[in-house]
Amino acid sequence: MKFDYRTHTMTIQRRRLLLAASAILPFTNAFAQTDFPSRPIKLIISFPPGSTSDLLARRLGDHVSKTLGQPVVVESRPGAQGVIAARAVLNAPKDGYTLFLGTNSSHAANVYLIKDLGYDPIKDFTPITQFTTNPLLLVVNAQLPVKSTQEFIKYAKERPGKLSYGTGNSGGLVAAQLLKAQAGIEAVGVNYPGTAQATTDLVAGRLDFMMIDPLVIRSFVQTGQVRVLGLTSKQKLSSMPDVISLAEAGLPEYNYASWGGLFGPAGMPPEVTSRLSQAFTKAVTDPATDKFFADLGMIATSSSPETFQAFVQDQIKVWGRLTKEAGLTPL
């Protein structure tokens, strides 16, 4: 057989190119990860603009953008108890550029409240860090002739099924159901796509009471349109030291708080997850952020990705108990 020098030379060159490419590939992947982030990061939230979650996300985003050198753009996708926003992140690239401010609604309560959830809160997401612990307030329209939790319970018992309340998320829903169950009262719940819409009806007198975020209702409390009766958590808020817990007000077993934290799609590179966790933890633990959260009626909370994952797994169990105690069934 005649030796073809030209073909032999071309074959050697191809092999060398393939070897060079295979050697460069790991370096290229490593560079892409260590170079993170090289463009803006999108942070999706499940509540409308102007909501507490929106303010929280923008505050943390501003801090993190200075640490990472790239803008953090907040995108609102409200509705369906966080399902719409969660699903938007579900199929996003696993590169750390699309994140989700998840809550107890999206990652715990929805497991028991929504039949066709469309995602697994553990398998389909990468936990990054917790942000906050969030107690709620029991508030009533100022025209309601009650000034304490005990007066409210007495008033409601005398009018079974006559009072109404609004809910804009699963946290407010469960908190209200627990109140009814533990206080032994009957009231009509009205579901809203967001807390803001329910608040409008409360202030207008179309609703009698709500379990609501302190920040959302604060201005209406200050103007005297709404009255605060109690706090859902046993831990008091530093920004509202005079507001007693519902446990202190005559419902000793009552204790509820929601939470928020950062997630990405499942399968994110560990280096990227760690970089994001460190940057957002730095933001959460900043003294100025702690005060900002307190003014929002929240308790600043941070954790490692591993600790946050264990927390979410535990919260799924906790919410199984809460929803059962509240008598809630999947929709």
Please report, in tens digits, the pLDDT of each residue of the chain (331 residues total).
454 545 444 444 555 544 444 444 444 344 445 689 999 999 999 988 988 899 999 999 999 999 999 999 999 999 888 999 999 999 899 999 999 999 998 999 999 989 889 999 999 999 999 999 899 999 999 999 999 999 999 999 999 999 999 998 778 888 999 999 999 999 999 999 888 899 999 999 999 999 998 988 999 999 999 999 999 998 888 889 899 999 999 999 999 998 999 999 999 999 999 999 999 999 999 999 999 998 888 989 999 999 999 999 999 998 998 888 777 788 7
Domains 41-134+258-325 and 137-231 share a fold: yes
Q: State the DSSP code for 237.
A: P
Is 137-231 CATH 3.40.190.10? yes
Q: Are 146 and 152 in contact (CB under 8 A)?
A: yes
- Judge if pTM exceeds 0.85: no
CATH H-level superfamily of 41-134+258-325: Bordetella uptake gene, domain 1 (3.40.190.150)
Q: What is the torsion angle, in degrees rounded to the nearest 10, for the CA atoms of residue 36, residue 39, residue 44 and residue 45? A: 90
Contacts of 146 (CB under 8 A, 6+ apart): 140, 152, 154, 155, 227, 229
Domain coordinates of the chain in residue numbers?
41-134+258-325, 137-231
